[in-house]
Amino acid sequence: MLMPRYVAFLGSINVGGNRLTMAELRHALEREDFVNVETVVASGNVLFDHDERPTRGLEEKLEYVLRDRFDMISIAAVRSRDEVAEAIAGNPFAEDGDEKLVHTMFLERDADPAQFRVLLADHEGRGAERMALGPRALYIDYVDGVAGSRLAGPFIERRLGCRGTARNMRSLRRILAKLDESNA
C-alpha cells in the first residue's frame, strides 16, 4: 500500500542561529518513520511519505523532532499535494504579480477574520503590499520587494495570533512539480 506524500514547510531554517544541514534533517526524520525524505532547496522544504494521518499530527511530530534533536523551535507547516495546489490556485495575486514577490504564508491554523482586519489596519500606510486570507494561509504580494518590506513575519504573527512560514510562487510551483513527479 502506497503511503501519501506530504511537504513540510519549516520556518526559520538556515536563518539566524537555526543552522541545520539538510542531510542531518533527512537522517533525523528517517529515524522517526518518515520515508522517502527529500529536501528541496536548503531552506526547510521537506518532502516525505508517511502513514496517512491529519497534517496537524505530522506538524506536531516534526516540531518535536526539531526541538528534541536540534534544539530548534520552529513551525512545521505540513500540506498534502492537493493543499499545495490549492495554495497556488487560491492565491489571488498569483496571476498578476511577480512569482518571486507573491507569497503564501502557511499558517498553523485558520486565521480569525477579525484579526486579519487588525493586520490590514495596522499595516495601512506602511507599504504597497496586498494581502488576502486563505485556508490556513495568508496570501501576500510584496509589490515593491520582500527585502525592504515592513510586512515581516513577526508583525504578521502578532496580529494574527498564530505562527506561519512563507514561500513564493516560484518555490511552490517547483515543490508541486516534485510532488507530482513522486506520484507519477
Mean pLDDT on 146-162: 94
Average per-residue pLDDT for the chain: 91
What's residue 182's pLDDT? 75
Residues 145 and 129: their CA atoms lie apart, in Å, by 9
* Confidence (pLDDT) at 14: 57
- Which residue, among 147, 143, 149, 146, has the nearest Cα to 126 in the 3D structure? 149
Higher-scoring residue by pLDDT: 26, 156? 156
**Residue 61 CA neighbour count, 13 Å, CB half:** 17
How confident is the model over 32-37, as a mean pLDDT? 92
> Is the confidence at residue 104, as pLDDT, over 60?
yes
Which of 1-5, 119-123, 144-148: highest mean pLDDT? 119-123
Q: What is the pTM of this model?
A: 0.92
The x, y and z cell numbers of residue 77, run together, are: 507547516
- Residue 41: pLDDT over 80: no
What is the DSSP-derived secondary structure letter of residue 88? H
The β-bridge relationship of strands 5-10 and 76-80 is antiparallel
- Confidence band, pLDDT 50/70/90 cuts, at residue 35: very high
